Structure 1
Amino acid sequence: MDTTRVSSTAFDGTPHAPAHARKFVRQVLGEWRLNHLAEDAVLLASELVTNAVVHAGTGIELTCRLDVDADPAKLEIEVDDHHPTRTILAEEGMPTDTLRTSGRGLALAGLLADAWGVTYTKTAKRVWVRMELADGCEPVEAPPPPVPAKLADSLHVGVVVCDRDGVVRSWNSEAEHLLGWRPEQVVGTELERIVAWRGHGPYALSFADTLGLGRWRGEARMRHVDGRLVPVYVSHLRTKGRLQERRLIWMVVGNEHRYVLTPPPVPLRREAGRRVKDLLDQEMPFAELLGTIAQMVQVSSGGDAAYVLLAADGGNRFGVAAGAGATAGLVGVLATGVFGADATTPTMIEDLLARDVELAQQLRARSLACAPLLVTGEVTGYLVVTAAQPGLFDEELTVSLQHIADQVAMPVQRERLAEQDRAHRGRLSFLAEAGELLAGVHDEELIAALTAQLVVPKIATWAAVYLTDLTGMTRLAHVWHREERHNATLRKSLPTIPRATLNEASWPVGPETVLSFPLVTQGRSHGALVIGRAEPTLPLELADLLSDLCRLVALHLHTAMLYAKQATTSRVLQRSLLPMRVAPMPGLESAVVYEPAEEGADVGGDFYDLFTVADHWCFALGDVCGSGPEAAAITGLARHAVRLLAKERYTVADIFDRLNQALLEEDEEGRFLSLLCGELTPLPQGGALCTIASAGHPPPLLLRANGLVEPVASPQLLLGVDSGARFYVEQFELAPEELLLCVTDGVTERRNGGRLLDDGDGLSTLLSGCAGLSAHAVAERVRHAVESFAAEPSQDDVALLVIKASAALRAVR
């Protein structure tokens, strides 16, 4: 006698097929009393069907075959598709993008099954796995559950027959007793009219798709003739044969009589199976190990999603380390209302929304079951399974979940400690690289660009950096995609100026999970780093790394903000200390070069001015001892005093006397001033008469038309040194085509090792080669000579003024 048992079903090649395959295998093994194999068998069936969907995309037939007379007894699961020309690749050499659903292709078949293979026919390809029943284990027939007398009278097994389009063709009297509809009222109408269909979970099928299944069992609600909805349990079967002759058969009972059509559930075996340990013994990366555990939990429990949580911050908080199924885009630490370091027993929550609203929103779930990972009595993490539907789990599930947790706790903790050590070294290296890259960068736009490129593609598929200014306005500063050609599209899909806070902004819907990290330092927000990842969850270690990176970036943005404020202050100060424009001088050509010594500064201890007074022009070039803001304060006093006194028709000598007294009254110790000041009065024959005085300043150089260079002012005492000092002026004619060069000691004392630029009359030699050049060309040549004289930057402010007589001067009006 053939004692082989066979149960088959068929699915369309859609993404919903793996979910229905898992439910079918679990039901069949429950009927055959093989629940101790359910975890591995359901996982294998899911893998086989997923492969068939991805590689074939045709209709799929799933068959479970049990042979108890074989030695040893064996269970076989077969998946047939109808695209025999497409072959399943061997594990070795399998492309990395094979089956993104699980990430391992058919690797699980080699790990969980005792044998597996591929068989080809003329019309189909069959992939099969074989699991041996240890110790000749035989299935046990479940005794039929006793039917209470009070329910026996109300038991009605309705039989409804429909054609392939779901139109009712037969309606028995039991269906009439159950729902009140007479056959003539429903025959010829669509079955969907009296079924209040609703699906559950992200992969729920429509009513039409459900009718297309070869076999299905489950709860539903049907409309009674009086309008109320009656909870029922349905056993659905689609007959085979030619398409026109196929029939759909529904056996319907009241929900309280469901065990007439399906055996009651039996507790899952307390032992999760030796293959759990076999999986843990495999050499695999830590992230893949956690992902495998999450997948096992999700598939074996039938939940919508499963997570592995690991302890953070000394074990008082728990963060998402891996997820499987319909996982939300979770980051970092979860709400701790359910999970705690002192919860050493498994927990089952029928409606999470009623207990912890925040956690329910994070997980997008109503049902939750969890079991702690215990190592030497300490809770190191949790295995968690969730579902969108409330009341889906029972206490028996927590028993199996805890057993899996007991097996994986120690291997996970051991691998985690090793991974933490590796991650710590990598984390320090990454942050050091980031710090070195951002060091000295004072431009917010450049910081945003560097930040995005730091995380792509190492951590994310794409990244965007939002910056918040001092007014609180947030804008999109930079985007970067792993595929650069997508940068423009990505920028268009992101909000340019979010109207809500970045935590509440609407991000583009796509294949990536979008996560946002604030850029906060010293209690102020500088914006946010937004990333898109292909993985649904972000491991805790990566979340911590990104948080550290964002703090580092925020600190540099804060520094850049302070630098920008300082630069703005310097520019404002410059406008008050330096002339906004040089007065036009008909018949004279002038050029100015001004470069403060301090990097990023706009003002220093050197200053210049060129302005008109009545019928002549005045010019001044000064140098305050020192540089920076302190010297700039004296600069402001000196420049404004020179201009004010000149406008009051004081002579150059009187200007020096008054300014010398003003500096001494300031009582700034060591704040001396060298000043070169002169007047240019037009001459009838052309050129100008120059009246000049030099207080401790490098002498100005006069370039004659014939190329000769000579100094034209004698050095006198510095201003601010002696209250009794008296100053005098000198005069010379500046003829047409002659040029006057005035410089500060930042030019003459430019140093290269032990040598100065003006050693051996170096500046005169340089100027003598400038005959025939314009004032601007001479200024640029001198500036370039100063810059290139030494490799290192100048340590002193540089200012120079060039005046060239180009024609007969017209009187100033």
Structure 2
Amino acid sequence: MDTTRVSSTAFDGTPHAPAHARKFVRQVLGEWRLSHLAEDAVLLTSELVTNAVVHAGTGVELTCRLDVDASPPKLEIEVDDHHPTRTLPAGEAVPHEGDGTLSTSGRGLALAGMLADAWGVTYTRTAKRVWVRMELGEGCDMQDHVSCPPCLVPGPVTPPLDTLHVGVVICDLDGVVESWNPEAEQLLGWNREQAIGRSLKELVAWRGHGPYALSLTDTLSLGRWRGEARMRHRDGALVAVYVSQLRARGHAGERRAIWMIVSSDHRFVLTPPSAPLRREAGRRIKDLLDRDMPFTELLATIVQIVQVSSGGDAAYVLLATEGGSRFGVAAGVGATAGLVGVLATGVFSPERKSSTMVEDLLAGDVELAQQLRARSLACAPLLVGGEVVGHLVVTDAQPSRFDQELTVSLQHIADQVAVTVQRERLAEQDRAHRGRLSFLAEAGELLAGVHDEELIAALTAQLVVPKIATWAAVYLTDLTGMTRLAHVWHSEERHNADLRKSLPSIPRTALTEISWPVGPENVLAFPLLTQGRSHGALVIGRAESTLPLELADLLADLCRLVALNLHTAMLYTRQATTSRVLQRSLLPMRVAPMPGLESAVVYEPAEEGADVGGDFYDLFTVADHWCFALGDVCGSGPEAAAVTGLARHAVRLLAKEHYTVADIFDRLNHALLDEGEEGRFLSLLCGELTPLPQGGALCTIASAGHPSPLLLRQDGDVQPMATPQLLLGIESTARFYVESFELAPEEVLLCVTDGVTERRNGDRLLDDRDGLSELLSTCTGLSAHAVAERVRHAVETFAAEPSQDDVALLVIKANAALRKVR
């Protein structure tokens, strides 16, 4: 019986031919159960097909031939082009079988000499054939390669062992290096003297996977640990390594962490036998389920087994979302860049309880084909208790790639793993839910009370780096619709400047349509939406090709929280802007200068973020004298500010028309009553200052329910200078009168609102037992500004909690003989 197996195909002589050839060889060797030879065979095929396309420029025929009867059994790969007059590059001899002499020109033929057991070139009238031969080894029953299920023959170990270095590093549990062997120096470049005493944090570019990953310190405290990492070479480059850690006791009994380190290419030295070396996928899965491993690692291993056993471009595990109506990506391997979150489509229906094969997705679901970047699809449901809890999915870029035999095999794997996946998924969901709530609570606490959009953007980026992403950028959209890059943050801060340069600072298109820069990370964008309005987007870069559903949900929740805080900050900014505009209309832009007099004003609204409230002041010139006013509207905030505007402008207008202080009170009292708003009363202190020839000024003053002004004499004596009358806005028949006194040089007049006199600390008020008079008596000889600041400080420090009332005070001091106002 002829047991030789042959598989052939042909390609056009285009730049795509090497990629098609690699896929063909990998598929054929998978069917022949020779996957252990795939890496060398695919590399040789790629080089030979590339040479044929470049040098011949014609179509290419590729043939794989397995001869199990030969001694030893052999695999031959032949590449034919249709330009026989094109020979090998000048100076390169055509070898015979077993000839070990090679010319250094022609990289593909040099590789053939290194990786193949024999190679050669055959010419015919119409074609030139370059072939390579790989021997499978003696002592193996090759009949298994003809009848299934076959066995796997151990292949050569790659890369070469002469490049293998096993570094041994011992450090304490704080990560300080105590021992460093020569092999570690060979691998990383640091000699023993340079490494000992350094912290591993300086030597390891540690990056956890996901929001619940362990830190380097936590990892060092584990008894055993294995995994991938990146370490810094002495020249500054990052070296991908595989680490096996064991924690042990030293001579003195202290715990030490021992790291064995190899390059990632040699990870097989430290890792246990991998599942793909099992006889078949079913046995590999059974062995996998017997292990105790984290949920994410379990899913990652399942998709790797599915991809290898199917020969597809990519494989995924999809799991049901809450409610079970849609399915999200939980794990993926292969061409998965950009595949995120939930896939809502009829192919992955919760009612579809049998395996499915789609020969061409473009014919039925263009959107799904674009998401998966695939045309062929096979999937099998994960059934637990008759309910579909997920799907195993295999895809390929070519149409009609899979057959029904694959769907049967895929369903067999799905049936094996469904119960375990669901059990572990429920446990992981419980852990993730607690971690998610903790993360969001931390984020909410961090963002609470922050009213600055720039600070919110900075905090958001630092929340996701490095827990969730390698880097993050926050774009903000203002009220006009303009979007700008607000903040960037990289796990390695030295890359921040380069990252900012690579991202568009002001996108000219929608954030969902931007072509993000190509780099080592996959870029994902999440909108910041609240109440139907976009506040920008959070853009992240992740080394992992897929984003698990739990992380997608977490980021969605975080973006909603950030958007809500941005919306609050926008409202706060708008209110602050409105208050500033209102303040310009309710309070004087500047106090009128008074030659020979000093004046100082303190104004502090009680409401946080407001610039104006129910208290107001004014100081202005009328003819040959000055007028001043200090008032307090019942209440505070914008409502009181509306009455404040009426009162201040009415006082100034009536004074400019030469109404007396008593007449001003009478007119303003009727104006407030005409407004008809109940409960809006006004206390007002208003006066005129007329200069006297001998110096000082004559002060004519009236107080409508306002705290009496205090006069500080030169000898330190303090006296109240006005009798309180009825509040304005209460009684239409009220009559008001004025009082006069002389303000001599060096004397100080202090006018305050009840926010000063009624400042409370428990049951005690600031003005109890003439507390304000005692405070003013200590201000002899101080300037007006110094007196105002001392009173303001006393009000602020009188109680630990902030004042609940608006505070306004006006200080006037006579310094010398006044000059007449012109």
Normalized against structure 2, the TM-score is what? 0.71
Task: Answer yes or no: is the 8 Å Cα contact 1:374–1:406 preserved in 2.
Answer: yes
Q: List aligned pairs for 1:483-632, cutoff 5 A.
A: 483-632=492-641
1:700–1:60 distance in 2 versus 1, CA, 3 Å: farther
Aligned equivalents of 2:18 and 2:383: distance in 1?
36
Q: Percent identity?
A: 76
Task: Answer yes or no: is the 8 Å Cα contact 1:22–1:45 preserved in 2.
Answer: no
Q: List aligned pairs for 1:261-276, cutoff 5 A.
A: 272-276=281-285
Which amino acid in the other structure matches residue 410 of structure 1? V
Worse-superposed segment, 590-599 or 478-487: 478-487
Would you say how many aligned residue pairs link Structure 1 and Structure 2? Answer: 636
Q: Are residue 761 (structure 1) and residue 770 (structure 2) matched?
A: yes
Query: 1:437-490, CA deviations, whole angstroms, 9 ceiling, x for partnerless residues?
Result: 222222222222222222222211221221111111111222222223322222
Aligned equivalents of 1:605 and 1:573: distance in 2?
12
Worse-superposed segment, 20-29 or 289-298: 20-29
Q: 1:79 — aligned with what?
A: 157
Instruction: Select the residue among 137, 140, 145 that pairs with 1:65.
Output: 137
Following TM superposition, by how much is the alpha carbon of 1:702 offset from its aligned partner in structure 2, in angstroms? 1.6
Q: 2:483 — aligned with what?
A: 474
Instruction: Select the residue among 295, 315, 326 that pairs with 2:324.
Output: 315
Which amino acid in the other structure matches residue 97 of structure 1? A
Aligned equivalents of 1:609 and 1:452: distance in 2?
47
Query: 1:658-690, CA deviations, whole angstroms, 9 ceiling, x for partnerless residues?
Result: 112222222332222111101111222222211
Please give the secondary structure, in 2, of the residue aligned with 1:415.
helix
Q: 1:644 — aligned with what?
A: 653
Query: 1:561-618, CA deviations, whole angstroms, 9 ceiling, x for partnerless residues?
Result: 2222222222222222111221122222211111111111222111101111111110
Instruction: Select the residue among 642, 666, 676 that pairs with 1:657.
Output: 666
Following TM superposition, by how much is the alpha carbon of 1:650 offset from its aligned partner in structure 2, in angstroms? 0.5
Normalized against structure 1, the TM-score is what? 0.72
Instruction: Select the residue among 427, 432, 435 that pairs with 2:441.
Output: 432
Q: Are residue 361 (structure 1) and residue 433 (structure 2) matched?
A: no
1:395–1:806 distance in 2 versus 1, CA, 3 Å: same
1:572–1:131 distance in 2 versus 1, CA, 3 Å: closer
Following TM superposition, by how much is the alpha carbon of 1:745 offset from its aligned partner in structure 2, in angstroms? 0.8
Aligned equivalents of 2:628 and 2:697: distance in 1?
13
Q: 2:720 — aligned with what?
A: 711
Instruction: Select the residue among 417, 421, 430 that pairs with 1:421.
Output: 430
Task: Answer yes or no: is the 8 Å Cα contact 1:366–1:390 preserved in 2.
Answer: yes
Task: Answer yes or no: is the 8 Å Cα contact 2:696–2:816 preserved in 1.
Answer: yes
Aligned equivalents of 2:546 and 2:506: distance in 1?
27
Q: 2:88 — aligned with what?
A: none
Aligned equivalents of 2:230 and 2:817: distance in 1?
87
Please give the secondary structure, in 2, of the residue aligned with 1:65.
coil
Q: List aligned pairs for 1:33-432, cutoff 5 A.
A: 35=33, 64-65=136-137, 67-68=139-140, 75-82=153-160, 84-87=162-165, 96-97=228-229, 272-432=281-441
Which amino acid in the other structure matches residue 443 of structure 2? A
Aligned equivalents of 1:435 and 1:799: distance in 2?
36
Q: 2:758 — aligned with what?
A: 749
Worse-superposed segment, 617-626 or 765-774: 765-774
Q: 1:241 — aligned with what?
A: none
Q: 1:112 — aligned with what?
A: none
Please give the secondary structure, in 2, of the residue aligned with 1:674.
strand
Aligned equivalents of 1:769 and 1:20: distance in 2?
96
Aligned equivalents of 1:727 and 1:754: distance in 2?
34
Please give the secondary structure, in 1, of the residue aligned with 2:736.
coil
RMSD: 3.8
Instruction: Select the residue among 453, 460, 470 that pairs with 1:461.
Output: 470
Following TM superposition, by how much is the alpha carbon of 1:59 offset from its aligned partner in structure 2, in angstroms? 6.5
Query: 1:370-409, CA deviations, whole angstroms, 9 ceiling, x for partnerless residues?
Result: 2222223322212122222333333332222222222112
Structure 2 residue runs without a partner (length 5+): 6-16, 45-110, 117-133, 145-150, 169-222, 232-237, 246-265
Instruction: Select the residue among 719, 724, 732 that pairs with 1:723.
Output: 732
Which amino acid in the other structure matches residue 78 of structure 1? P
Aligned equivalents of 2:274 and 2:693: distance in 1?
116
Q: 1:254 — aligned with what?
A: none
Q: Are residue 796 (structure 1) and residue 800 (structure 2) matched?
A: no
Aligned equivalents of 1:66 and 1:390: distance in 2?
39
Aligned equivalents of 1:276 and 1:339: distance in 2?
23
Which amino acid in the other structure matches residue 648 of structure 1? E
Worse-superposed segment, 643-652 or 626-635: 626-635
Which amino acid in the other structure matches residue 65 of structure 1? G
Please give the secondary structure, in 2, of the residue aligned with 1:799.
strand
Task: Answer yes or no: is the 8 Å Cα contact 1:74–1:130 preserved in 2.
Answer: no
Aligned equivalents of 1:585 and 1:384: distance in 2?
85
Structure 1 residue runs without a partner (length 5+): 6-15, 50-56, 108-123, 138-268
Aligned equivalents of 2:40 and 2:167: distance in 1?
18
